[in-house]
Chains A and B, each alone.
Chain A
Amino acid sequence: MLIRNLLIALGFAVPLSIGAASAQGEGPRGNAQSGKQLFESKGCYSCHGFVGQGSREGPRLAPPLAFAGFVAQLRTPRAIMPPYKEALVSDQQAADMIAYLASVPKPPDPKAVKLLQ
């Protein structure tokens, strides 16, 4: 719930449990391989981690938001995230990043991780 609250605070008024298909439904079709490279070269990893796992600096992004919400946060971010205007990240590149985040393997159940017991 904390992450959900945080995302809502950041302007993501969408459910968390969005699958890859619906995540890309509203925008261009993305390329996960390209998205992975972009996620690093555009610096997204620096706050959100290489697999979008999130950190103290930025919320978890995997599984990703739908295209409209994702792009809205990129262009006119809430809170302290810096803006990524069209000149920096095109809609197609945003779709690629969404595809990448959707391709990140689902995490294990915390109850199944021995070190977390």
Chain B
Amino acid sequence: MSKSPKMKRRQFLAGAIAAGPVLGLAAATNKAAAQTPAPRGSSVPPVPPNENVLPDATPLTEARSGSDFMVDVIKTLNIDYVACLPASTFRGLQESLLNYGMNTKPEFIMCLHEECAVAMAHGYAKVAKKPMAALVHGTVGLQHAAMAIYNAYADRAPIVVLSGNIQNTAARRPNVEWNHAALDQNTLVRDFTKWDAQPTSLQGAAESLVQAYDLATTAPMGPVLVTLDADLQEDPLEKTEEARLRIPKLTRRAHPQGDDESLREAAKMLVAAENPVIYANRYGRSEKAPALLVQLAELLHAPVIDGRSRMNFPSRHKYNHSARREQALAQADVLLALEPVELWGLTNDVRDLIGRPNLRLNRQANLKVIHIGTESLLVKSNYGEVQRYAPADLPISGDAEASMPSLIEAVKRELTPARTAALAARGEKLAAMAPRLLEQAHADAVYGWDASPISIPRTCMELWDHLKNEDWTMPTETVFLSDYPHRLWDIKQSHNWIGGSGAQGVGYNAPAALGAALANKGTGRVTAAIIGDGEMMMTNTMLWTAAHHQIPLLAIVHNNRSYHMEVMHTLRMADRRSRDTARIHIGTDITNPNIDYAVLAKSMGVYGQGPISNPNDLGPAIKRAIDVVKRGEPALIDVVSQPR
């Protein structure tokens, strides 16, 4: 880009701010010096004139800047929102988004922590089925954002992360701008982004932004990072230069599919199997995914085990046998693993005992494993999310959902009338088990039904009573809820549930739920999340964002007043060593004082209720909160809960 002004704008500003008071002082001092001869023998030399005199031609205003062009590029990507908190390294872009872009497509969503901004984009992407942007400060903001980016990477969620930097060392003002700039800041998160760029020209910025979106949204998806240089953002954009700039057209590519020959082989194996089992984990990428898997399961009359990294399969379908996972897997002679993430763990385990013994799980000796997934298509070494190597008998590289129509057709071609009848007989036996699984869940749920602290199934069912007649999303992890939502609720659609954080980095659930609620805003869907207290405290500033932007989210705090996972870990160590268990609460419990989450919510403008310890008070509280949410506002209920 043109550098025609003799001194660049950034240098001018830096000089003006730093030298202004000094110039005035120097002039006065020089005048005084001219009138009063220096004392003979003085050791104080005269003050030299300022060496960097500002040229008269230095422009003070500019009509159009590089960041305006960046906004032109971003607007071609159909990004609805950008989550951020303000920062100097992208001040040019921020101003352009607000005034040149008129704060639409994307609209600013103000967060108070970069981790919230990225996690919000994470939750949004899984409901909206498209990315939003997160704009984070250079270096320090990116450091804050890093854990949330890691979660999104491990969860293969598309996010367009934008950041700023001042590449030109001569343009950095002393102190802060040096601390907030880096030679290669993207290296902070390169281990867990799908792709990153630090363009050095506006044309490069245009291409990087479009390429970033393209890569983020093509399976295997993932967060991408584009660092936009401050000079590129802030320098004037001359008409002659702009005439040369081109914005690449975003064209959408098909997601990679498994090859036809392998899918035919998979179909043969599945149709011939006596006890095939389908395991789906990060399979459900779009709204179509559950219906496709239902079609396959009903063709094969095979049980489905849902790994629950996405909404893969209706919870009450007769072939959803997730509640008898180990029994089903133990009987399998063919296992179809769809985006399993942890293929090794389907047949093996490392027990949490002294020495961490490895063991082969109870599986058939003749078990054949078919693996369809994109795990091998996005692999990095440093962090362990790739997990342990496990060879499949038939590995198929390709997006499982994209491969599903071809697999279904291949299965249909393999089915003879006789085989179809045989499979249907198997299906009847499987279908007969399904009601018993729900009955067992009900039987388990009633233990502790009236207890205080309130039991998890009681909380889940009090909430379900208000969701069951709505279109709804429950966007938070259910592992810490003993999976009761999956066991008790009728989960049918892709947006009902969106999986977990990916890397279990604490702090995901609250802002991700808000991102999901943002995606649902204006649709009539009710977004209701159950969020652990430790999670909430990590990223509770999302409450302010919810109130500020009027994002309707019901946040129920599962308040067990501890980092309970760590209570169990510390207890395990004390038990193993036969030592005092009384001290395990030191450094794990969140008590003394107890946190009042309703007051916390109110302090940030969110409707808050609680703490609620009596289970009979919970239903009415949820009713009141749902009314608030239906008015378009956020609400929080603090529920003093059983641990799990």
Binding site for B on A (CB under 8 A): 1-3, 41-43, 45-47, 49-57, 60, 62, 80, 82-85, 87-88, 105, 107-110, 113, 115-116
B462 near A88 with CB under 8 A, answer: no
B57 at the binding interface (Cβ < 8 Å): no
Q: Is B628 interfacial (CB 8 A cutoff)?
A: no
Q: How long is the Cα–Cα vector from A45 to B526 in the complex, in angstroms?
A: 33
* B644, CB-defined interface residue at 8 Å: yes
Partner among B436, B464, B488, B643 whose Cβ is within 8 Å of the Cβ of A55: B643
New A-B pairs, 9, CB < 8 Å, besides A3-B440, A83-B576, A108-B449: A2-B444, A43-B571, A49-B448, A49-B451, A50-B642, A51-B448, A80-B353, A85-B578, A108-B450
Residues of B within 8 A of A2 (CB): 323-324, 440, 444
Residue of B nearest to A86 (CB): B578
Residues of B participating in the A interface, judged by any CB pair closer than 8 Å: 323-324, 351-353, 436, 439-440, 442-451, 453, 455-456, 461-462, 464-465, 479, 482-483, 488, 564, 567-568, 571-572, 574-576, 578-579, 581-582, 584, 642-644
In-complex Cβ contact of A80 among B352, B440, B445, B578 (8 A): B352
Determine the chain B residues whose CB is within 8 A of the CB of A88 once the complex forms: 575, 578-579, 581
Contact A46–B455 (Cβ < 8 Å):
no
User: In the bound complex, what is the Cα–Cα distance between A47 and B642 (angstroms)?
Assistant: 10
Q: Which residue of B lies closest to A83 (CB)?
A: B575
Residues of chain B within 8 A (CB-CB) of A53 are 444, 447-448, 451, 455, 642
B444 pairs with A3, CB closer than 8 A: yes
Give Cα distance in the complex from A53 to B446, angstroms.
8
Which one of A51, A57, A60, A84 lies within 8 Å of B575 (CB-CB)? A84
A46 to B578, CA, bound (A): 17
Residues of A within 8 A of B446 (CB): 107-110, 113, 116
Cross-chain contact A57 with B644 (CB below 8 angstroms): yes
The contact sample of 23 A-B pairs, CB cut-off 8 A, is A2-B323, A3-B443, A47-B568, A47-B644, A49-B642, A49-B643, A50-B448, A50-B642, A50-B643, A51-B448, A51-B451, A53-B447, A55-B644, A56-B479, A80-B351, A83-B575, A83-B576, A88-B581, A107-B449, A110-B443, A110-B446, A115-B461, A116-B461
Chain B: minimal CB distance from A4 (Å): 10
Inter-chain contacts of A49 with B (CB < 8 A): 447-448, 451, 455, 642-644
Min CB distance B518 to A, Å, is: 30
Residues on the B chain within 8 Å of A82, using CB: 571-572, 575-576
Contacts of A55 in B (CB 8 A): 456, 482, 642-644
Across-interface contacts of A43 in B (CB, < 8 A): 567-568, 571, 574-575, 581, 584
Residues of A within 8 A of B456 (CB): 55
8 Å CB contact of B445 from A42, A51, A57, A116:
A116
Query: How far, in whole Å, are A110 and B453 apart by their CA atoms in the complex?
Result: 20
Cα A110 to Cα B532 in complex, Å, equals 27
What CA separation (Å) do A110 and B579 show in the bound complex? 40
* A46-B568, A46-B643 as given contacts; A54 in contact with B444, CB under 8 Å: yes
Q: How far is the CA of A50 from the CA of B436 in the complex (A)?
A: 27
Choose among A3, A105, A115 the residue with the greatest number of B CB atoms under 10 Å from its CB.
A115
